[in-house]
Copies of this chain bind each other. A is one copy, B any other.
Amino acid sequence: MAKVKREITPRSEDYSKWYIDVVKKAGLADHSAVRGCMVIKPNGYAIWERMKDELDRMFKETGHVNAYFPLFIPKSFFSKEADHVEGFAKECAVVTHYRLRNKADGSGIEVDPEARLEEELIVRPTSETIIWDTYRDWVQSYRDLPLLINQWANVVRWEMRTRLFLRTAEFLWQEGHTAHATRQEAEEEALRMQEVYATFAEEFMAMPVLRGVKTEHERFAGAEETYTIEALMQDGKALQAGTSHFLGQNFAKAFDVKFLNKENKEEYVWATSWGVSTRLVGGLIMTHSDDHGLVLPPRLARIQVVIVPIPKPLPEIAEVAQKIMADLKALGIGVKYDDDDSKRTGFKFAQHELEGVPVRIGIGMRDLEKGEVEVARRDTFEKVSMPLAGLPERIQQLLEDIQSNLFRRALKFRDEHITKVDDFETFKEVLEDKGGFLLAHWDGTTETEKRISELTKATIRCILLDGEEEEGKCVLTGKPSKRRVVFAKAY
């Protein structure tokens, strides 16, 4: 097992620093010259691309199509939906001018004061307003419904404290915006997309999630109901990984989007919106990675297998490597032959571990004479010899094993970090000592929710969709409660 650490701070020493080390040293992302904006480097973008491909396929399989709406939103649009403006129109990038000019003294360029916009434009923090302003022209009759539209885009929210992938001023995401003839259809859509997100998180990211609904206080600005998937990171903090909103008729009313129903009567349209973002890449890292670097589930790895000649790319080894490459590619497996002669084997091993390649095949002359190669898995560092005969199928099986092992491991950790607590002292103790999700009774008021958050920094992550009813007393106020809700400190 290669023990070269490539100078990654151990998790036990400083979890935040470990995270940034992994992100930077594995070539995933870096800070940019623009405050709060990140550069997504090729290794990081490859993960996002794999995520996009799978999500896009899932969206299309559930009947959605893609479209694209403007980056800019007129300032006045935000004032149209009363809750939305409070939630979104404050910390954002404002375009006020459309031209620069040379300075009179020749020392550079400056904003041309003559080129001031009549109405300022906001760089979209989310697109409900511009999209519902557009839908007004697209919907006349029930025959025009449903509209099942998704957009892949960049959005900007002027965050003061940022962290690569998890919270950045600009981020990449998808936002679904659907329009329906009935409340029931829209509610079903919101739940369907939450389930698409949950399936994606568990089956592709190998990241177990709780499916729940947000409290009124944590709801999306302008929604009647916000469904969420919540994951648990290795430091015991929760990560909201995706949300799906039932918007009722709020945006239809704000933007006057009506349709003639089958009875020829005018009605407002029902809406949903739902999104996941490059934040998922951060969640993926914090779910699986270790002190050696990135650990990637095979289903999201561009390079699933790397072949390393030991100690160097002799012709006999290259020949076998090419054969294995061809066989693996035929099975749809992403593979790379690392025949760079300028690097030592140990350096390469550490580099591939750092970058999270799920499987490494080492080919040495002595192994070859025995008709074998050495196969190492990234998740457990186990190494075994495998015969060349039947190797591709074994590797395929190994990748599936790694995928399910990562999920099982994360699920075990998550389940070990769900704790029922019944009094506030225990609540605080568990939160500090163990972390994770706390199942506790709550009296249902926003006041208590805020107070608990002030006292402990824990927030209500969600009310579980499959949670049981249970009589109890609020962990803070002792008032009656009918079910436990999920608390955690969160990113």
Interface positions of A (Cβ within 8 A of B): 30, 32-34, 37-42, 45-46, 48-49, 65-79, 85, 89-101, 108-109, 111, 120-123, 130, 133-134, 137, 143, 149, 153-154, 156, 158, 170, 172, 342
Contacts and interface: CB of A to CB of B under 8 A. Distances in A.
Nearest to A70: B37
A77 B32 CA distance: 13
B45 A76 contact: no
A34 B74 contact: yes
A98 B109 contact: no
A33 B133 contact: yes
A90 B115 CA distance: 11
Given A78-B109, A89-B100, A90-B101, A66 B46 contact: yes
A158 B45 contact: no
Contacts of A111: 75, 94, 96, 120
The 7 A-B pairs with the shortest beta carbon distances in the complex, nearest first, are A37-B70, A40-B68, A42-B65, A94-B97, A98-B158, A34-B70, A79-B108
B109 A79 contact: yes
Given A39-B69, A67-B41, A134-B39, A33 B100 contact: no
Nearest to A76: B108
A32 B134 contact: yes
A73 B170 CA distance: 12
B32 A70 contact: yes
Contacts of A85: 109
- Most B CB within 10 A of own CB, among A67, A92, A122, A158: A67
Contacts of A153: 154
Contacts of A40: 67-69
Nearest to A143: B342
Contact of A109 (B73, B75, B91, B134): B75
- Most B CB within 10 A of own CB, among A98, A130, A133, A153: A98
Given A34-B73, A40-B67, A70-B32, A94 B96 contact: yes
Given A42-B149, A108-B76, A109-B79, A170 B70 contact: yes
Nearest to A170: B71
Contact of A67 (B45, B92, B121, B158): B45
A97 B195 CA distance: 38
Contacts of A73: 34
A93 B42 CA distance: 28
A137 B45 CA distance: 18
A130 B45 contact: no
B109 A89 contact: yes
A45 B70 CA distance: 13
A89 B112 CA distance: 11
A98 B89 contact: no
B108 A98 contact: no
Given A65-B42, A94-B96, A71 B143 contact: no
Contacts of A32: 69-70, 130, 134
A302 to B, nearest CB: 9
A79 B46 CA distance: 33
18 contacts: A30-B134, A33-B70, A33-B130, A33-B133, A45-B67, A45-B68, A46-B65, A71-B123, A71-B170, A72-B170, A89-B109, A90-B100, A90-B101, A91-B99, A93-B95, A93-B97, A93-B121, A95-B96
A100 B92 contact: yes
- Most B CB within 10 A of own CB, among A71, A133, A170: A71
A42 B67 contact: yes
- Most B CB within 10 A of own CB, among A38, A90, A91, A122: A90
B70 A121 contact: no
- Most B CB within 10 A of own CB, among A66, A68, A130: A68
